[in-house]
Amino acid sequence: MIRVGLTGGIGAGKSTVAKTFIERGAYHVDADRIAREVVEPGTPGLAQLAEAFGPEIIGADGALDRPALAARAFVDDDSRTMLNSITHPLIGARTKELTDAAPADAIILHDVPLLVEGNMAPFYHLVAVVHTDADVRLDRLVNLRGMDADDARSRIAAQATDEQRRAVADLWLDNSGTPDQLAAQAVAAWDDRLIPLRDNIAAGTPAPLPTGVREYDPEWAVVGSRVVGRIWALLGANASAVTHVGPTAVVGESAEPVIDIEATVADLAVADSVADALTAGGFPRALPSDGERLHISADVGRPVRVHLRPTAR
């Protein structure tokens, strides 16, 4: 089982990618749908909102009046915090429930508009970002969805920047062309990255590492930072430090294009105890070696070695 986070700015075209993945068998978990579900009429979530923000947020039909809620919940930081304290645990619990129900061989597609803003990227095997320039998204929102132009600009401005999304993107899907072209990129990502990653993790098999020295690539630092976050998410308190090391961490250096990550643990017993978690998280264990434990990425598109090294060597 692998978890793929799908995100992109409002109007970017995520639905085309989601549809393409779902047609190929992805197990879809839609964050927006869950957010609506947990506050449907008769739910504890709606009752909690009414208690916190007043019965006026419930319409005559018994459903949540979203504009009325927004008028009360977004007036200041305390109100927003109250809203999030009610909805986030409910959304999280329902998301876990759906994820736990997925088949063992599933590719779980978690469709999350605010994935970047919520700092959720490290908790996915891969993050797919659908990109469209802001002016194109504005045109779509206004002319295709009928949204007020000022409202559309405000929503775009309130979301993550393209640079912030690119920093977390393992898959960058460019939607500057036609829907068919975007769907073709999604098919290629499914066939060339997602299926091999799922199958390698299931088999506990690392992906082959590239060989040969290449000129320095600034993307190495970006990927290194992204993988450091992923390893922290997998190891948590079992590691005292996680760092991008080796030749690819040196600016300007030519190197073998493999990201080396050093995770410092108390001893080799701790390193052995986290082997299954790293394997399930996308980094199967390689052959044991003296003085450290080595894990290698199962993702054919992201060559990484993770060195688990004890504090005292």
Binding residues for ATP, as ranges, are 11-16
The alpha carbon torsion through 90, 92, 95, 97 (nearest 10 deg) reads -70
Q: Is 279 exposed, middle or buried (0-12, 13-18, 19+ CB in 10 A)?
A: buried
Six-digit token pair at 24? 């190929």
SS3 at position 109: strand
Distance in angstroms (rounded) separating the CA atoms of residues 259 and 150:
43
Residue 8's beta-bridge partner residues?
A: 130
Mark the binding-site residues, compressed into ranges: 11-16
Give backbone dihedrals phi and psi of 260, rounded to 5 degrees, phi first: -100, 125
Residue 157 CA: distances (Å) to CA of 26, 32, 127:
31, 19, 22
DSSP 33-96: HHHHHTTSTT-HHHHHHHHHH-GGGB-TTSSB-HHHHHHHHTSSHHHHHHHHHHHHHHHHHHHH
The answer to whether residues 108 and 3 touch, using CB atoms and an 8 Å cutoff, is: yes
Kindly list the distances between the CA atom of residue 109 and the CA atoms of 14, 27, 34, 98, 307, in Å, as whole numbers in the listed order.
11, 6, 14, 11, 29
CA distance 294 to 278: 10
Partners of 128 in beta bridges:
6, 171
Determine the Cα–Cα distance for residues 293 and 119; give it in Å rounded to an integer: 29
Here the tokens at position 111 are 């469709």
Instruction: Answer for the pair 7, 123: CB distance below 8 angstroms, yes or no.
Output: no
8 A C-beta contact, residue 3 and residue 121: no
